[in-house]
Chains A and B, each alone.
Chain A
Amino acid sequence: MNSATEPRNFAEVALYLARLWRQEGTLRFLAIALNLGREKSLAGEMWKYGVVIGLLSFAFVAFMLLTEGGAAFNTSSDGINWGLAVSVYIFFALTSSGLTFIASLSMVFGFREYYSIAKRCIWLAIITLGAGFAVLALELGHPFRMLWAMPAGMQYLSPMFWMGVFYLIDLVLLLIKFDRLWHDDWDSPLSHFLSIASFVAVVLASGMLGLVFGSMVMRPMWYGSFTAVYFILTAALSGAATIVLATYMAYGYRHENMPEPLRSMASGKALPKVFATLSGIALFAVVTRLWTGLWSNLDGLEGFHALVRSPAFHVEVWAGLALPFALMIAPALQRRARWQITAGALVLLGMFIDRYQFLVTGQAVPMFKGAWASGLVEYAPSVTEWMMAVLGFAIVFACYGLGEKLFNLAGDPRHRLREGAEPKPAYAETGARAD
């Protein structure tokens, strides 16, 4: 489903779309736009369902926010202040950071075999970060005020201020870098500089997101510089899982469809090795954190007891981390597409739960709040909060389908050499049937 040609800039995209609209008439144009082409394709399906589900969930959330406001959430001042929506933001933001790490393998550290997934990684990093920001904006009391109040305030003591600064820089650099790759500029000095800057920015951004929590001495379940390291390491894991799933999806879930060197990477030892290492590290981090939490009797760590009693936590540890780790070290399974895909999906599920559990249990011990808040706080997300999560995933699916169709995400520097230096005209006569 990779398009053989791609537009060179947005003007060409607009021109092409306008021409298509004139030729086909509004209705057929809409149908083509919704399917991303005249024929069915996986990218088209992702786009179509992403757009439809995204619009529906957005409509629901917007309706609830306009009629009920924040009362549509199950968060509360005397319990969980930051709920599912914030954990979805963390999930997407860290997944985005992880994808940038993986893109940096080739673009910063010179592991050339990873070139063939770099462009896909960067596109995914852009859209997951965008989805995270979108969900967060719906959670904030005044998202638009943020746009001026944060730069005007310059609160350099606030971890959240720096998180905002670094993620903004990260997003801008990702966009510029993607634009360079779109123009087949892989190794100019500018492109190199962008890659290095973006790697530094993303380390700072994900580390700072960790410090938003790690700086909170009054919330001992989060406290410590380890939280920043934990976020960076698990970011790499969720980024790896995402790119594995996305790449398999692009090649119909089969090694045979992949071009070299992707095929040898996936069917060789490289991929399972990386995957096993990252999930092993994450497993180690989760278990050691649990150990110190359960062992210590510091006031405020009681949330760890709630954590071990929670079934979701066991799903995370056993199915989301231990099982993928086992699959990726088992010699008989580690190189099979089916088990790599399973491991990727399980890890993403595990990471989704991890962000949620990390966030919610960290707030489970109430802070002298009110005569009626005592013991550990109970919380389950409301339908509106779940819909915000759905919206986030719908945005990612839709934009991934779109990117797959428009941007030749499989591009790499060799591909340009193979096809000759002549740039092809955007969308040959066959138009959207380019796949």
Chain B
Amino acid sequence: MTKWGMVIDLEKCTGCQACTAACAMENSRLPGENWQDVIFFTEGEYPSVQLKWFPRPCMHCENPSCVHVCPTGATYRTSDGVVLIDWDKCIGCKYCMIACPYGVRFYTDEKPLVAPDMRKVFGSNDGHSWSPPWRMPDSREDWKRGIGIQPRGVVSKCTFCYHRVSKASKDTADLDPSDPRQREFTPACVVACPPGARYFGDLGNPESEVSKMIADKNGVRLLDQLGNKPQVYYLTGAGAAVPSNRALKRT
């Protein structure tokens, strides 16, 4: 069985946030509701201070605490290793947001993160929380999998672009955006990344590019000590590092 996972090479990442923009366009995200965010922070003190950045999608944990705490089963893990939300079952209790160590989840009904409130500018009258002119086609939307524009009162997060990935042929080892046959099945952030810092493939297949990279280049996972076992790995090489704690300093 496929076990989808992602590798992000921090040595290549330039912090351009093309992934964030691509995700927002692909998944019709509300401004600020960045399923794929890039976190900027500083390390050290003047004069040896460093500006750092860190791209952070949902980790699609193998052992996802968000799934374990959900009282309704709205959050679940698919057989190909992707963690999704059923918006028809979510009661908006926000327990999953409490339990996710990586802060990747968003509650729909709250003060806008960016003004003006686009939900008011592009109001919806068909059950969606808003209705922007550039939204994802209805035929792709899938509320049972948390894909598209969500209704009110539920939680949303990165789906690994499940509407694309799930259409790839079953034995695919890697989804390489430079291969025109696979491009449309590859997650939008991976397609958009200008320096090609993101890789997507089958972690269950030892021959896949992502598996080899994790082994050869010593891929690490964020906050691994918590045991969630993310399926997003970071390559840190010589010049980059994953942040070691959450109490990041303000940039």
Residues of A bordering B, CB below 8 Å = 69-71, 73-78, 81-82, 140-143, 145-146, 149-150, 152-155, 157-161, 164, 212, 215-219, 299-300, 302, 363, 365-371, 373-376
Contact = CB atoms under 8 A, between A and B. Distances in A.
A374 B248 contact: yes
Contacts of A216: 65, 98-99
Contacts of B37: 369-371
Most B CB contacts (10 A, CB to CB) among A142, A155, A366, A373 go to A142
Chain A contact residues, majority secondary structure: loop
Contacts of B54: 368
A368 B33 CA distance: 14
A368 B103 contact: yes
Given A69-B152, A155-B73, A299-B245, A367 B100 contact: yes
A148 to B, nearest CB: 9
A76 B73 contact: no
Nearest to B20: A371
A76 B110 CA distance: 6
Contacts of A78: 103, 113
A376 B246 CA distance: 10
B68 A158 contact: yes
B74 A368 contact: no
Nearest to B59: A368
A369 B37 CA distance: 8
Contacts of B39: 368, 370-371
A70 B110 contact: yes
B72 A153 contact: yes
A73 B110 contact: yes
Contacts of B245: 299-300
Contacts of B197: none
A217 B11 CA distance: 31
Contact of B226 (A218, A363, A370): A218
B247 A299 contact: yes
B152 A141 contact: yes
B8 interface: no
B95 A302 contact: no
B222 interface: yes
B91 A77 contact: no
A375 B97 CA distance: 18
